[in-house]
Amino acid sequence: MRGRLKLDPATDMLGAIDVQPSFMPGGELPVPDGDAIVPVINHLLADRFLNAFATQDWHPPGHSSFASMHPGRTPYDVVSMPYGPQMLWPDHAIQGSRNAALHPGLDSARFSLILRKGLDPALDGYSAFRDNDGTSRTGLAGLLQARGVKRLFLCGLAGDVCVAWSAEDAIEAGFETYLVEDATRSIGMILPDGGNSADIARKRLEACGVVFVTSNDLTL
């Protein structure tokens, strides 16, 4: 989609997913060019959205999704967990650490809600709406519905993991859902079948109804 999209300050909300140093250059799980989204998100917070929330990955030490907890395994291996396949990651976003905080350059005062996820040591949580078992809910959908939110504009890190899962769940929860491309970066992993995780995630999101926009497409 390209062209101007008029925002409704009362019913539109920006969601900034995992804009944390852990996922930026120098972090434990860096997304290429991840820090470049901070000024774009700040522009959206200052000039486009009255309502916004953020999420933080917030893992306890020794989280089961860490490759370090699985002898003989390395980051990006996939293992079977009680809730299904789980990709293993480097230790990251450890509760209370500097890299788990929201990026210091982000205008965090503009968020009316900051939701922490991935707290259960035995269960990972990519989406802002539910954990990876598909059933444990964060309560975000009900809160946004109670506030009268109709359209969600998601951005953050990484576009092919936590942002994508959040967007899919937002659609399922009944929100008209947009992904702000210039305020999002993806890992772009090359998968065993040769596919690129960013391309696969985009096709998946477009198929379920997520609309891709840029910050310049949005106007009040």
Would you call 208 a catalytic residue per the annotation? no
- Looking at 12, 155, 162, 169, which residue is catalytic? 162
Would you call 117 a catalytic residue per the annotation? yes
Q: Are 85 and 146 in contact (CB under 8 A)?
A: no
* Residue partners of 159: CB distance under 8 A and separation at least 6: 179, 184, 185, 186, 198, 201
- DSSP class of residue 191 equals P
- Looking at 12, 18, 91, 124, which residue is catalytic? 18
Q: What angle separates helix 197-208 from helix 162-172, to the nearest 10 degrees?
A: 10
Nearest CA to 108 among 54, 180, 184, 49?
54
- Looking at 12, 57, 91, 117, which residue is catalytic? 117
Does 158 sit behind a cis peptide bond, omega within 30 degrees of 0 on the bond before it?
yes
Q: Are 101 and 28 in contact (CB under 8 A)?
A: no
Which residue numbers are catalytic?
18, 117, 162
